[in-house]
């Protein structure tokens, strides 16, 4: 059985004189689901951004086990390109196998010329992993959209024309199609009716195992009772 964990060790973060995080420690293991609950400005987004490496803490550190744990992050206000369609979103999320194959071949040639370069080896491994994920994800996009209540929409529909809740679900589809082993969700139930929080937290989506870890941030007042095991 796959086992993984995320551990925050004594995280602290300030913005000027405002202390946002003060000596925060916790762990999240395979299959666990946890919620960060609090008012706006209390540090929920800050701690999520630190966990995914977008921000640095003033003190403390984050440990992933294994070190290459795939983390999927759904930020607030996920942005799409102005002319992007649902089909474009799926292609971007899954990756283009043809382009990735060409990139693997290019990296293999570069490694052949410089086999001792560890940076090239890491880059080659990363592209190879993306190709494997793209091949695995091929054809899964419509099923994920359907599980998130978007299956009735044509893939030619522009994302800009979707409602706020539909955009949130489309963004979650992107995250899920990156094949994460841990989900970090920042106020994922914004703009959604009460029927959707379970799906938005990853429940009921085909191909995603029960041991997938989840950590989500919610404002006080969010219906956490609608999200199982949080």
Segment of 11-15, 77-81, 107-111, 220-224 carrying the highest mean pLDDT: 11-15
Q: What's the chain's average pLDDT?
A: 79
- Write the pLDDT tens digit of every residue in 189-203: 665 554 554 444 444
**pLDDT confidence band for 2 (50 / 70 / 90):** low
> What pLDDT sits at residue 14?
95
Residue 97 Rama label (left phi>0; alpha psi -120 to 50; beta): alpha
- Judged by average pLDDT, the poorest of 30-44, 118-132, 163-177, 196-210 is 196-210
Mean pLDDT of 95-106: 81
Q: What percent of the chain has pLDDT over 90?
A: 23
In the predicted model, is pLDDT for residue 66 greater than 80? yes
**pLDDT confidence band for 125 (50 / 70 / 90):** confident
What are the domain boundaries of the chain? 5-89+138-226
* Level-2 CATH architecture, domain 5-89+138-226: 3-Layer(aba) Sandwich (3.40)
> What pLDDT sits at residue 47?
92
> What pLDDT sits at residue 218?
53
CA distances from 2 to 20, 147, 177, 210 (A): 34, 24, 19, 11
In the predicted model, is pLDDT for residue 207 greater than 60? no
In the predicted model, is pLDDT for residue 118 greater than 60? yes
In the predicted model, is pLDDT for residue 54 greater than 90? yes
């Amino acid at each position: 059985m796959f086992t993984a964990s995320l551990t925050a060790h004594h995280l602290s973060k300030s913005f000027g004189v405002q202390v946002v995080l003060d000596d925060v420690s916790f762990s999240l293991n395979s299959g666990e689901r946890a919620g960060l609950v609090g008012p706006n400005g209390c540090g929920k987004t800050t701690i999520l951004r630190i966990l995914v490496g977008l921000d640095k803490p003033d003190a403390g550190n984050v440990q992933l086990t294994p070190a290459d744990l795939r983390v999927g992050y759904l930020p607030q206000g996920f942005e799409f390109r102005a002319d992007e369609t649902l089909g474009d979103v799926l292609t971007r999320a899954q990756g283009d196998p043809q382009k990735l194959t060409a990139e693997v071949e290019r990296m293999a040639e570069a490694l052949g010329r410089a086999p001792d370069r560890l940076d090239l080896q890491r880059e080659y491994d990363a592209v190879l992993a993306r190709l494997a994920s793209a091949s695995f994800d091929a054809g899964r996009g419509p099923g994920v959209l359907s599980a998130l209540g978007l299956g009735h929409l044509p893939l030619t529909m522009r994302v800009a024309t979707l409602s706020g809740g539909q955009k949130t679900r489309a963004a979650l589809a992107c995250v899920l199609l990156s094949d994460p082993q841990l989900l970090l969700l920042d106020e994922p139930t914004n703009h959604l009716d009460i029927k959707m929080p379970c799906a938005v937290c990853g429940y009921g989506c085909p191909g995603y195992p029960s041991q997938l870890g989840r950590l989500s941030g919610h404002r006080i007042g969010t219906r956490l009772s609608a999200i199982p095991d949080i």
